Structure 1
Amino acid sequence: MNITKRTARKFIFPTLMKLGIDKFIRNSAKDAYLNLMYHGVVLKDGSYFSPRHITSDQFESHLKYYRKNFDIISISEAFYNIRNNIKPKKKTITISFDDGYKNNFNVALTLLEKYNIPTTFFVSSVCTEDMNLRCLWSDIIAALNYFYKDKVIQLSSYDFKNLFDKEKRVSITELFKSYTYDERERRLKELINAYDLDTKIQSLPEELWKFMSPEEVIELSQSDIVEIGSHGHLHYNLGEIEVEKAKEELVKSKKLLESLLNKEVNLIAYPDGSYNDDIKNLSKEAGYKGQLAVNYKTITDYKDKRIMNRYGLSSTTTYESNMIFLNLAFQNKGVI
């Protein structure tokens, strides 16, 4: 970490918070709604493996701040308000989680219920099925990096070291995102078999990588504060794969989740924030009434009330810097 960033985190952001600058920043923004996004909450810091998860202590400090400073509503309510041009008297946030990690159920939910905070969990519908290894493809890549640091990883014509092929100037993560639907599955199996990744990842704490079981998804959905949305089926970048495969992902995920939960699932958050105008239209045709991005991708998004963007909280910075940047986000990621 460079000295500027370290100084900001240790001195500048805490001082700004003590002076109430966070409130000034928030109130100076014209937009009233902001959608916040997390992936996981863990009991012990897991940044050595993946930056996806925030610690439970950090997360609770966030929740206390939210309860004190914002109105908090569900994403479904936010869509209703925005489509009906209802502007709240107080800055308003929603909270959501992506992917379907087990820690959403056994760590995050307890804290969210403690503070009675409505939350949407966007679940990859592969959670509803039997899985040989209950994890996301990106966590397989993270395991590859963790267990084979500084080693050369061979895949097809590529030679990756610390997940990057210097000669071809491409990361293994970006390569996997560019693969077609079937190619990604084939290459992933090659890596798992060649480097014994299914055994190795299971030697790590489950809270860092394991997905929920069908039973846990059901129990999560039964909480009074929870609504369940789709996050696709196998976490493909829907805007980059074949249109027919993307359509299959959208329809399959909705059907699987609705069958498991015996209730309508009408929200979708796009995996890796990947979509385009065609994907938005396919989602509407599939029956999704609300769509969530990370960053808007098309010029039509800003006036398209089918979709909202979100702001992701960092798991690798301090509480004060997270809260300052969150309030700043009302200016560039807020809605109406």
Structure 2
Amino acid sequence: MSVTAFSQLCRFIKSNYAVIHLSGIDAHFSKSNKPAAIISFDDGHYDILENAYPVLSSLKMPFNINIDTEILETGKAHDYVRVYDILNHTSIDNYYNPKYMKKPIEVNRGNPMQTEQEFTDLLTGITTAEKREITEDLALKAGAKQDDFSKMLSKEDIQWLSKQDVEFGSHSHTHSILTKIPSEQAQFELNHSKEVLEKLTEKEVNVLAYPNRIYDASIEETAKQSGYSVLLQTKDQINEFVSGQQEPKSYTRVNQYHQSLDEALAHTYGMVNKLKKVLR
């Protein structure tokens, strides 16, 4: 999403909603019937600070960032984004790793979404260590350089943003698909990321955004045991507030990646999905 489209969307939201923190949902609806909106970012890309923060700050709009905390150790995004960075910044035309693949993935520059989906499918079904092995092998074969990878928020950036009243949540530690890893590792992913963020911000962290929006009842229970009281999904649905909802409270989110305000609003209010149903 361009900065212009993002700014226009934020102004629309501010004009029509009470913009609040996740921690302020109950307090808001206990005294107001005005619809509320929450601005939320995942992963921890530096452009949140560089491009989104100036817009949101000028409009006095609070927001939430959910961090996969391994980025603070590596300075790089999680494996899925690393793959997309490599594809976008190198001229590699195919990739094959016989250890994990039956046939090569052909890089289709005319349809990058298809290629990215093939890599997403490949990475989703394997362990965290295997994922990293493939990502590093792809980087080597493609001749990727450090500058080819997305810049991420640093520890200092997170501390500074926290002091500006930005709320932080966990996006796990390594952005592993939590349902695809052993239960002990899933528990570590949630516990460790929470500890890292609480130490950095010196604030309680009780928000979890599921990596790749994938979870099940077991992961939800693990999140509850780890001390998370707010669980974020991504289903492109607007929530209805339910008074007295038991913790952990679960909320859906609407993805925003459009290049114009009209496209963003059509997606937000379901017009795109309605049109797809009509066209079918």
TM-score normalised according to structure 1 size: 0.69
Secondary structure of 1:312's aligned partner: coil
The answer to whether 1:128 aligns with 2:69 is no
Q: 2:107 aligns with which of 133, 144, 162?
A: 162
1:176 paired residue number: 123
1:141 paired residue number: 83
Q: Matches of 1:319 and 1:307 in 2, distance apart?
A: 27
1:213 paired residue number: 154
Report the Cα offset of residue 178 of structure 1. Answer: 1.1
Asked whether the 8 Å contact 1:232–1:270 carries over to 2, the reply is yes
Secondary structure of 2:70's aligned partner: helix
Q: 2:169 aligns with which of 215, 229, 232?
A: 229
Report the Cα offset of residue 81 of structure 1. Answer: 5.4
The higher relative CO (CA closer than 8 Å, separation ≥ 6) is in: 1
**Residues 230 and 93 (structure 1), Cα distance of their counterparts in 2 relative to 1, 3 Å cut:** same
Q: Matches of 1:196 and 1:244 in 2, distance apart?
A: 35
Secondary structure of 2:38's aligned partner: strand
Asked whether the 8 Å contact 1:268–1:290 carries over to 2, the reply is yes
1:202 paired residue number: 147
Q: Matches of 2:215 and 2:148 in 1, distance apart?
A: 35
Asked whether the 8 Å contact 2:179–2:216 carries over to 1, the reply is yes
Q: Matches of 2:142 and 2:127 in 1, distance apart?
A: 22
Asked whether the 8 Å contact 1:266–1:288 carries over to 2, the reply is yes
Report the Cα offset of residue 150 of structure 1. Answer: 7.3
Structure 1 gaps of 5+ residues are 1-53, 165-169, 297-301
1:94 paired residue number: 38
| Structure 2 counterparts to residues 59-98 of structure 1, below 5 A | 59-78=6-25, 80=26, 86=30, 88-98=32-42
Secondary structure of 1:265's aligned partner: coil
Identity among equivalent pairs (%): 23
The answer to whether 1:319 aligns with 2:264 is no
Q: Which amino acid is 2:94 matched to?
A: V
Secondary structure of 1:233's aligned partner: coil
Q: Matches of 1:96 and 1:253 in 2, distance apart?
A: 18
The answer to whether 1:264 aligns with 2:209 is no
The alignment of Structure 1 onto Structure 2 pairs a total of residues equal to 255
Asked whether the 8 Å contact 1:290–1:307 carries over to 2, the reply is yes
Structure 2 gaps of 5+ residues are 112-116, 237-241, 275-280
Q: Matches of 1:97 and 1:147 in 2, distance apart?
A: 24
Q: 1:309 aligns with which of 236, 252, 255?
A: 252
Report the Cα offset of residue 152 of structure 1. Answer: 2.0
Root mean square deviation of aligned Cα: 2.7
Asked whether the 8 Å contact 1:230–1:269 carries over to 2, the reply is yes
The answer to whether 1:291 aligns with 2:231 is yes
Asked whether the 8 Å contact 2:207–2:231 carries over to 1, the reply is yes
1:253 paired residue number: 193
Q: Matches of 1:150 and 1:203 in 2, distance apart?
A: 13
Asked whether the 8 Å contact 2:67–2:168 carries over to 1, the reply is yes
Asked whether the 8 Å contact 2:43–2:77 carries over to 1, the reply is no
Asked whether the 8 Å contact 2:7–2:55 carries over to 1, the reply is yes
Report the Cα offset of residue 312 of structure 1. Answer: 0.9
Q: Matches of 1:185 and 1:128 in 2, distance apart?
A: 16
**Residues 146 and 321 (structure 1), Cα distance of their counterparts in 2 relative to 1, 3 Å cut:** closer
Report the Cα offset of residue 314 of structure 1. Answer: 2.5
